[in-house]
Amino acid sequence: MQKILLLRFSSIGDIVLTSPVVRCLKKQLEGVEIHYLTKKPFASILEASPYIDKVYTFDKVDQPLKEVVKALQKEQYDLVVDLHKNFRSWYVSKKLGVRTFTFKKLNPQKWLLTQFKINWMPEVHIVDRYLETVSSLGIQNDGKGLDYTIPASDYIQASSIDKRLENKPYLVFVIGAAHATKRLPPSKIKAICSLLKDELIVLIGGKGEVEAAHLIETAGPHIINTCGQFNLHQSASIVDQARLVIAHDTGFMHIAAALKRPIVSVWGNTVPEFGMYPYLPANGPQFSLIEHPKLACRPCSKIGYSECPKGHFNCMNQLEDAAIVKAVQEL
């Protein structure tokens, strides 16, 4: 086995969750060369990895998948590991014409859970299911958790943002998520931050969270708002220096796990039973799950919606602010 191509096209969290497969293949197969194909916007997550030799990307305009496949065919891979399992990943492996190991996606089980609340999902984290895909190569879980490499050029010292962060440990609250039904309402985040008035809290988020962050920072002078100011790696460097991270079921929750931070993980319309809760080493930091387990309409989707299908958004609105604060204090 000399050259392996991994396929995972999106998104941030899903790509980070494949990092143990990348590391274990690279370290446990002598002399192997690891290549990775993903969508162009996610290339930066992979390019800094010490375990990936080459990153290929595609998009609809500049790098159509058909053209990228022509370049891949010249690489003469020994194996394709398909960790995405959709039509495009099938197309890539078919065109390359080499042996392919394909991840078992369990879409029927997810459909049963979202539509009928019948849970036939295995009690196995998705990382371990990813690793099962390559187990026939003798690959074993090394127990080291996830990886996320921050380039030195993007590493920001927290004290350069606010002098107080140099002398006092701080919390990070990642206020965003790709789908609204995965996010606490801004007013609720503000209330939680108000209860944590004795802590310095750094808000992390993209440009889409700027307006919400302006409301949240009115909770008090202990709030430091960085939303919309930094790129993904720079924000990750702020997370790396935090003593604890509060995050929704989103990519930054997995980045926080890769950086080995204690995590308070807040869940709305999705559920941990999908197997994508924080993945931390057994002897590492701990995490706490905050959810509404008795709500009959959960999970309503395996991904999320722009608004609650029922109109009440009880999965987030009925979470107790004090329970989240208590989880922070206990961790």
pLDDT averaged per 10 residues in sequence order, the chain, 331 residues: 95 97 98 98 96 97 95 98 98 98 96 96 98 98 98 97 94 97 98 98 97 98 98 98 97 98 98 97 94 95 96 98 97 93
Residue 1 pLDDT: 74
Distance, CA of 91 to CA of 247 (rounded, Å): 35
Distance CA 106, CA 61 (A): 32
Three-state SS annotation for the chain: CCEEEEECCCCHHHHHHCHHHHHHHHHHCCCCEEEEEEEHHHHHHHHCCCCCCEEEEECCCCCCHHHHHHHHHCCCCCEEEECCCCHHHHHHHHHHCCCEEECCCCHHHHHHHHHHCCCCCCCCCHHHHHHHCCHHHCCCCCCCCCCCCCCHHHCCCHHHCCHHHHCCCEEEEECCCCCHHHCCCHHHHHHHHHHCCCCEEEEECCHHHHHHHHHHHHHCCCEEECCCCCCHHHHHHHHHCCCEEEEECCHHHHHHHHCCCCEEEECCCCCHHHCCCCCCCCCCCCEEEECCCCCCCCCCCCCCCCCCCCCCCHHHHCCCHHHHHHHHHHC
Give the predicted TM-score (pTM) of the model. 0.97
What is the residue type of 41?
P
The CA distance from 275 to 289, in Å, is 13
Q: Please say whether the beta carbons of 55 and 38 come within 8 A.
A: yes
Cα separation, 263 vs 198, whole angstroms: 19
Phi, psi at 143, each rounded to 5°: 75, 15
Q: Which residue, chain included where needed, has tokens 């706490």? A: 288
Domains of the chain by residue range? 3-137, 152-330
CATH 3.40.50.2000 fits 152-330, yes or no: yes
The domain defined by 3-137 folds into: Rossmann fold (3.40.50)
**Quick check: do 3-137 and 152-330 share a fold?**
yes
